Amino acid sequence: MTPPGAAAAPHPPPPTSLVGPPVPPHTGGPPRTPGLFVTGTDTGAGKTVVAAALCAALRAAGRRVAAVKPVLTGLDDAGASPWPLDHELLAAAAGGRADEVAPLRFGPAVSPHLAAELAGAPIDPATLVRAVAAATAGADVAVVEGVGGLLVPIAPDYAVRDLAADLGLPLVVASRPGLGTINHTLLTVEAARAAGLDVRAIVLGPWPEEPSVVERSNRATIERATGVEVATLERVAAPEPALLAAAGAHLPVARWVAAA
């Protein structure tokens, strides 16, 4: 507390633009590979499984898919889960090399801005956008997985939703099916729309074989509140491309990519 008569400490600087005014959507520039940007309501919300299922299904249908995880953190956690790291699963699903899927990789499982800071290698947004565009050039469809949720910082004044806007890709939101998902999903859709982003679909997963009344109600409530199509992704038994393709085949990915 400031003692009486003493000068008050200066206020901390105002928050960064991460939660500030809407970011203008991507305009102009060269035509880019059509595709989808898979974001999530949170870390661990199912982005990689959804993205990998989309990639595997597209590939099984004969499409050339470029999967990209623009920034990967948590390399140090390799082997901690029966599921591989994001770039490895995406590479297996899309058919490619893991190091090409993730141009920027960091060891600690922390936010990208902090991982880059700890590595002494801050991320330059323009360079990152160019790297993603280059990685998807020549493919029929790009599937880009975000990091954490939309407001996660990649650099001090550049969040995941800014990257989605700069890439000019519509969003697919991966969300959990159970208690808490209405709030997290609606917040995500609101944050997306504030930035002018087009939310093409929401995917709830892993979706149980026999959904409870809560899960069925969550799906209907989110669809009604957002006006966005809410699809579901079944539980994929193992991280294998054939199983991912079978699960992803139920998602209308071609329609999501093509929608105006």
Strands 153-155 and 158-159: antiparallel
Shortest Cβ 37–Mg ion spacing (Å): 13
Rounded Cα–Cα distance for residues 40 and 145 (Å): 9
- Its sign, for the CA torsion 119, 123, 129, 130, is negative
Closer Cβ to ligand ATP, 152 or 257, answer by number: 152
Shortest Cβ 154–ligand ATP spacing (Å): 14
One of 41, 48, 175, 226 touching Mg ion (CB under 5 A) = 48
One of 50, 56, 66, 86 touching Mg ion (CB under 5 A) = 86
One of 38, 47, 155, 173 touching Mg ion (CB under 5 A) = 47
Q: At residue 97, what are phi and psi to the nearest 5 degrees?
A: -100, 140
Closer Cβ to ligand ATP, 2 or 81, answer by number: 81
Identify residue 133 by its one-letter amino acid code: A
Structure tokens at 211: 């959904």
Shortest Cβ 206–ligand ATP spacing (Å): 4
**Collapsing DSSP states into helix, strand and coil, what is residue 189?**
helix
Candidates 47, 69, 87, 200; catalytic one: 69
Is 47 among the catalytic positions? Answer: no
Verify binding: residue 83, ligand ATP, rule CB under 6 A.
Answer: yes
DSSP of 125-149? HHHHHHHHHHHHTT-SEEEEE-SSS
One of 18, 23, 36, 49 touching ligand ATP (CB under 6 A) = 49
Whether 10 contacts 166, CB under 8 Å:
no
Q: Give the list of residues 6+ apart from residue 91 with CB closer than 8 angstroms, or none.
A: 67, 97, 98, 100, 101
Verify binding: residue 41, Mg ion, rule CB under 5 A.
Answer: no
Helix (H) or strand (E) holding 222: helix 213-226
**Collapsing DSSP states into helix, strand and coil, what is residue 36?**
strand
Verify binding: residue 235, ligand ATP, rule CB under 6 A.
Answer: yes
Distance, CA of 222 to chain centre: 19
One of 148, 177, 241, 248 touching ligand ATP (CB under 6 A) = 148
**Among 79-87, 93-101, 163-171, 249-257, the segment contacting Mg ion (CB under 5 A):** 79-87
Question: Per-residue x/- marks for ligand ATP, 163-182, CB under 6 A?
Answer: -----------x--------
Catalytic residues: 69
**Given the rule CB under 5 A, which residues bind Mg ion?**
47-48, 86
**Given the rule CB under 6 A, which residues bind ligand ATP?**
40, 43-49, 81, 83, 86, 148, 174, 205-206, 233, 235-236
